[in-house]
Amino acid sequence: MTKKKLLEDIKEHPSRFYRMPADVGRDRRFADEERLEILKAWAGETADESLSRQIGELIALMESRATGHAAE
């Protein structure tokens, strides 16, 4: 399975591939942007407050990397 196909499959049903949203952040097969896509897809499946927090943390990390500052 190609990485692109895997990503698309995961985005369709993230909970089939990960036990919890935090597991997405630890999956180093994907770049930050791809992990964000997965978390957003998962957010579409459920209204979970911890998932919203995970998305916010990943966005903050991506922004800090883009500006060259360490995450606070």
Helix, strand, coil percentages for the chain (3-state, nearest 5): 75, 0, 25
Distance of alpha carbon 53 from alpha carbon 49, whole angstroms: 6
Closest by CA to 10, choosing from 22, 58, 30, is 30
Token match 């089939």: residue? 16
**pTM given for the model:** 0.69
Dump pLDDT digits (tens) for 38-57: 988 888 766 667 777 777 88
Mean pLDDT of the chain: 84
Contact of 41 with 21, CB cutoff 8 Å: no
What are the structural domain ranges in the chain?
A: 3-67
